[in-house]
């Protein structure tokens, strides 16, 4: 339970209502600690408190509500972009843009109704339509994607956000061209998956940029062909100066630092495209030289949750995983019990490893 931004979370007993029409009760088995959870806990964006965080999870369906097709006992990964299924965005395969879904997310409820969580009669917000930092959660049926038996729970949880977001940025948001050369700014859990996605698309060169030597080494293991410490101002200046003639075909910025976003744009060649994945703190502007942007016809696109519908993108990701084109088991750095959630968050804030996983008692 998060009761105050910037304060530690506490494990508390809550009431979880039974699933209603279009909903299911899921026993959570694994949940990843994403930087979006960390940023939300630190108050970088508005959200109604108290709340249960967690949006990167996997588990087993224990009860299905009325008119729900998913059978109890089905292994699933959780999807933060269920959409309404009716609007132009959902029908076009882009449920992440569904305004009804985004409104529910901002209110701390489900697309199918109120938040399922309460305590002593007080409503508790469900973060990102999932609230999976809990032994059990109730979610919309559209938030469930069946998890094949050959995919571990940990991998399924991470596919639900870090993998989907990073790989999707490279294969759906900007469709990295084969033979191209690009840069990924930020080599954490999302960044290394952007690198993997770009390489799977046929990119011949990927520069990884980060301040962490450990994460740069991880980036190399996940397919980066060049590494750059983001504090190396001389080399960054040289890349900026060379950009009009020898810049990158594309960049993907996976961190919420505004200077990193500016850098991702400045490193592009004329006609290049920057995909911005990282979430800057609410209300913080990003400085962009509009003269260069217009003159060089650089493109800047937002990339949210892999762009495509997760029901379409997840099977493609799992095919690449099975074929050995994506390293997903290697993403897990640390495992924590739910009671150690604050330690898991401190690990994420310190940028140690790639992803921490919470495990839950059966």
Domain spans in the chain, listed from the N-terminal domain onward: 15-147+327-359, 166-302
Which residues, in sequence order, are CB contacts of 237 under 8 Å at separation 6+?
A: none
pLDDT, tens digit only, all 362 positions of the chain: 999 999 999 999 999 999 999 999 999 999 999 999 999 999 999 999 999 999 999 999 999 999 999 999 999 999 999 999 999 999 999 999 999 999 999 999 999 999 999 999 999 999 999 999 999 999 999 999 999 999 999 999 999 999 999 999 999 999 899 999 999 999 999 999 999 999 999 999 999 999 999 999 999 999 999 999 999 999 999 999 999 999 999 999 999 999 999 999 999 999 999 999 999 988 999 999 999 999 999 999 999 999 999 999 999 999 999 999 999 999 999 999 999 999 999 999 988 888 999 998 65
Could you tell me if 48 and 124 are in contact, meaning their C-beta atoms sit under 8 angstroms apart? no
DSSP state of 129: G
Could you tell me if 127 and 106 are in contact, meaning their C-beta atoms sit under 8 angstroms apart? no
CATH number listed for the domain at residues 15-147+327-359: 3.90.180.10
Looking at the structure, give the CATH architecture of the domain made up of residues 166-302: 3-Layer(aba) Sandwich (3.40)
Round to whole Å and give the CA distance between 255 and 57. 21
Round to whole Å and give the CA distance between 316 and 79. 15
Which residues, in sequence order, are CB contacts of 213 under 8 Å at separation 6+?
A: 229
Confidence at residue 352, expressed as pLDDT on a 0 to 100 scale? 85
Query: 34: exposed, middle or buried (C-beta count within 10 Å: 0-12, 13-18, 19+)?
Result: buried
Element (H, E) at 60: strand 57-64
DSSP string covering 257-323:
-HHHHHHHHHTEEEEEEEEE-S-PPTT------HHHHHHTT-EEEE--TTSS-HHHHHHHHHHHHHT
Q: What's the predicted TM-score (pTM) here?
A: 0.95
Instruction: Work out the number of other CB atoms within 10 angstroms of the CB of residue 221.
Output: 11
Confidence at residue 353, expressed as pLDDT on a 0 to 100 scale? 84
What is the rounded radius of gyration, in angstroms, for the C-alpha atoms of the chain? 20
How far the first Cα of the chain sits from its last, in Å, is: 20
Confidence at residue 362, expressed as pLDDT on a 0 to 100 scale? 52
Could you tell me if 121 and 55 are in contact, meaning their C-beta atoms sit under 8 angstroms apart? no
């Amino acid at each position: 339970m998060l009761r105050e931004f910037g304060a530690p979370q506490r494990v508390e007993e809550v009431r979880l209502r039974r699933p209603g029409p279009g909903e299911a009760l899921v026993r959570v088995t694994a949940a990843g600690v994403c930087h979006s959870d960390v940023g939300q806990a630190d108050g970088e964006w508005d959200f109604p408190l108290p709340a249960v965080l967690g949006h990167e999870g996997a588990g087993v369906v224990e009860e299905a509500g009325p008119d729900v097709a998913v059978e109890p006992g089905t292994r699933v990964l959780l999807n933060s972009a269920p959409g309404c299924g009716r609007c132009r965005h959902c029908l076009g395969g882009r449920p992440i843009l569904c305004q009804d879904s985004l409104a529910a997310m901002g209110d701390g409820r489900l697309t199918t109704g109120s938040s399922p969580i309460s305590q002593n009669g007080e409503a508790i917000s469900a973060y990102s339509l999932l609230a999976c930092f809990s032994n059990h959660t109730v979610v919309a049926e559209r938030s469930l994607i069946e998890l094949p038996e050959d995919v571990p729970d940990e991998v399924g949880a991470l596919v639900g956000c870090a993998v989907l977001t990073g790989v999707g940025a490279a294969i759906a948001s900007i469709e990295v061209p084969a033979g191209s050369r690009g840069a990924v700014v930020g080599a954490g859990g999302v960044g290394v998956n952007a690198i993997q996605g770009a390489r799977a698309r046929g990119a011949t060169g990927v520069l990884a940029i980060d301040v962490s030597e450990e994460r740069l080494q991880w980036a190399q293991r996940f397919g980066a062909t060049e590494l750059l410490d983001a504090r190396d101002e001389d080399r960054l200046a040289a890349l900026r100066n060379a950009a009009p003639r020898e810049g990158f075909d594309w960049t993907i910025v996976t961190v919420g630092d505004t200077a990193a976003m500016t850098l991702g744009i400045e490193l592009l060649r004329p006609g290049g495209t920057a995909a911005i994945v990282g979430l800057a703190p609410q209300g913080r502007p990003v400085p962009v030289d509009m003269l260069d942007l217009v003159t060089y016809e650089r493109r800047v696109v937002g990339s949210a949750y892999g762009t495509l519908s997760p029901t379409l993108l997840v099977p493609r990701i799992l095919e690449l995983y099975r074929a050995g084109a994506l390293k997903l088991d290697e993403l897990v750095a640390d495992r924590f019990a739910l009671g150690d959630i604050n330690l898991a968050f401190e690990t994420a804030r310190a940028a140690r490893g790639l992803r921490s996983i919470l495990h839950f008692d059966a």
